Amino acid sequence: MPMDNPPHPGEIVRKDCLEPLDLTVTEAADGLGVSRKHLSALLNGRSGISPEMAIRLSKAFGGSPESWLTQQMQYDLRKAKEQSDPEVKRFTTAER
């Protein structure tokens, strides 16, 4: 079930993964095999979780890659709904 107001996945990584282990951004980035700049962008909400990062997070902290990507998708979908209300025609089979 989707959350109504999901946090950015970077917040989850910081609060649920780095903080409990008392990891610095540099230590976590080294362990994940990514640059400090790349991890910092995720933690600060400037980038999202890619499929590759989902695999890295899964290996380092647990959870499935799919669960990490689901968190990102829920966040992205909420943001899209907040920012857009496009005019779209509804198609039905009765019209054809």
Enclosing domain of residue 59: 9-78
Residue 54 lies in a domain: yes
Buried b (16+ CB within 10 A) or exposed e, 76-96: eebeeeeeeeeeeeeeeeeee
Residue 55 lies in a domain: yes
Residue 36 lies in a domain: yes
Residue 13 lies in a domain: yes
Q: Which pTM was predicted?
A: 0.85
- Per residue in 84-95, pLDDT tens? 888 889 999 876
- Per residue in 22-73, pLDDT tens? 999 999 999 999 999 999 999 999 999 999 999 999 999 999 999 999 999 9
Q: Is 14 helix (H, G, I), strand (E, B) or coil?
A: helix
User: Domain of 45: which CATH number?
Assistant: 1.10.260.40
Residue 83 lies in a domain: no
In DSSP notation, 17-73 reads IITTTT--HHHHHHHHTS-HHHHHHHHTTSS---HHHHHHHHHHH-S-HHHHHHHHH
Domains: count for the chain:
1
> How far apart are alpha carbons 81 and 92 in whole angstroms?
23
